Structure 1
Amino acid sequence: MSRGLSKIPILLWLLVTISCSPGEGTEGPGINEIEDLKTKQYAIQGQQLYLQYCSNCHQEDGSGLARLIPPLKKADYMLDDIDRTIRLIKMGISGEIIVNGTSYDQPMPGYPQLTNLEIAQISTYIYNVWGNKKGLVPAERVNTVLENASNIPLQ
């Protein structure tokens, strides 16, 4: 066997190892800057849930989908009211909303199957990435908000 061929398995192993290793910042934008351990844990779990339930429409980077789906990144509608966001995740919404001065009228499905903890994790994620630093959204807050949700309009 020539010397060149004997190096191929090593090079392949190195290539696979490098390409499969988590790179810096794999937790997502903003998560690495979270100092509080519980908030960081919620955000990491929330990122996975966000990717599963929300990113198809709102995009992985929170930018939305043109004039069809509103952005979450730097969205005044979201930043103005954490409790409303909690209710939206659970119950969805239909009808017009205004986000950063732009009208959106596409219904958003709710996710009633999500637990209050999962909603807290998603909320913690979206409120601590893309330049936001709102801190932990605890499951207890989600419990309280959703217990009183039937009396509060989403708009």
Structure 2
Amino acid sequence: MDIEAIARQARETIPGLEGDDERLQQHALRLLSAARSREGWEEDDQAMRERLLARLLELPVPATASVDRNASPRQPVRTVPTDAQIESLVGKAFSAPSDGSRARAAVLAGRAWLNVKQATAGLGFWQRWRSRLRARRLIARRRRELEH
């Protein structure tokens, strides 16, 4: 492996480092020392490092390296779950086998409540409150049916 290939590899392996020359140089020097230990180069260490760092700065930044490291993916817009979706979430939790005991009904109600909380997370306060109120009523009704 030659100096040109090491510099190219350092530039391409971590695309987010185009603005951080110090970290890019450290990465390139690690690749150089790994290649030297594998292949046993006889060339002077300091001269090799200087050539690598000079070549690294000459290389153009690859097109994939223009990614903003601080950008987060756009969050999907949360929509209010419909009554049918809430019934589905609650029904999914209550479809587990049950022996009719109060303890089992409480466990299933807790699972249903967690499903509803996850589905309504990220909504506005009043949207979340209305959806969870409907879900609480449905869970209470299903729990009473299960206990009797």
Q: TM-score, normalised by structure 1?
A: 0.31
Q: State which structure, 1 or 2, has the greater radius of gyration over its C-alpha atoms.
A: 2
Q: By percentage of residues, which structure has more helix?
A: 2
Q: TM-score, normalised by structure 2?
A: 0.32
Q: By percentage of residues, which structure has more strand?
A: 1
